Amino acid sequence: MLDNLRASRQFEAYLRDVRSVDHDKQLNAIRALGELRDKRAVEPTTDILRDKDPVVRAAAAKALGLIGDGRAGPALLKALLDKDAGVRKAAAQSFCDLADDLAVALAVRALTDQGAFVRAVAARALGRWMKRETIPPLVNALGDPEGEVRKVAAKALQRMGEQQWDQWVDGTPADFARLAASREARAIVPLTRALDDSNWRVRADVARGLAKFDAGAAAPLLIKRLKDEHAEVRRAAAEALGALGDKQGLEPLIFALDDMDAGVRAAAAAALDKLDPAAQ
């Protein structure tokens, strides 16, 4: 009982000292709370992430990783955007050290965060935790516009026994063309994201590749791209619809015969000839 009382008093002293104006005392208290791994310290340590001193913020981030409570997840994700590189690094490491159910849910949501670094850290954490229920959102992340996020997601999937993705995705612009040529049914999920990529060449490569996928899933995506702002993408979509041979494409291809671009009109005509010669 005496030992417990002493430990409790020491814990309370550390909680006071994390607010100390004495820099060394404050840092020692933050580190001690992390080493104690007492979950009661999550909230006060999280508050320290707002300290004006980056050394103190980094120490708090490291301590939260040692404590390992998913309640610290939101604050650590926010700290990934800290202006100080040391804080960002500590927050990234600590977030990956959480691994409880709350942290897993946070990481899955963070895969769609606006910040590319946040998305990459989330993918890295999921790969470390190896929860198989997170495979679908990681596959979706293979369609991320940032190459580093795609690369980390592929590595995470590889750790979970999904080695094939690492063969096709290495974070380069060629990722989408390789995914499109893979014929892997689940690849249509990241490819759907890639059809909204700002690079028209990516959209065109994906449109061509969709000709190798199930028509029921691919045709609606290609029909939408018949209205793409870039003629090369529209032409690729028309050609792919012809290759798919799905009747869903008939009416949209007929409208494409009036496209302002001659190449698109020719591709639409050729596709219609495959689908239904009488349609023209």
CB–CB of 249/220 below 8 Å?
no
Report DSSP state, residue 100: S
- Dist CA 117 CA 75 (whole Å): 15
Separation between Cα atoms, residue 136 and residue 268, nearest integer Å: 35
Domains 1-98 and 173-280 are alike in CATH topology: yes
**Residue 162: pLDDT band with limits 50, 70, 90:** very high
Whether 1 shows a pLDDT value over 90: the answer reads no
pLDDT of residue 2: 37
Question: Looking at residue 8, what is its pLDDT?
Answer: 72
Task: For the chain, give the percent of residues with pLDDT over 90.
Answer: 74
pLDDT tens for residues 75-114? 999 999 999 999 999 999 999 999 789 999 999 999 999 9
pLDDT at 100 (0 to 100): 86
Q: What is the CA radius of gyration of the chain?
A: 26
What average pLDDT does this structure show over 214-224? 92
Is it the case that residue 163 has pLDDT exceeding 70? yes
The pLDDT of residue 9 is 81
Task: Count how many Cα atoms sit within 13 Å of the Cα of residue 113 in the half-sphere of its side chain.
Answer: 21
- Averaged pLDDT, 203-230: 93
CATH says 173-280 is which class?
Answer: mainly alpha
Task: Determine the Cα–Cα distance for residues 242 and 263; give it in Å rounded to an integer.
Answer: 14
pLDDT surpasses 80 at 280:
no
Q: What is the rounded CA–CA span in Å between residue 153 and residue 58? A: 26
Domain with residues 1-98, CATH architecture: Alpha Horseshoe (1.25)
| Digit-coded pLDDT (tens) for 23-70 | 889 899 899 989 989 899 999 999 999 999 999 999 999 999 999 999
Spell out the domain ranges in the chain: 1-98, 173-280
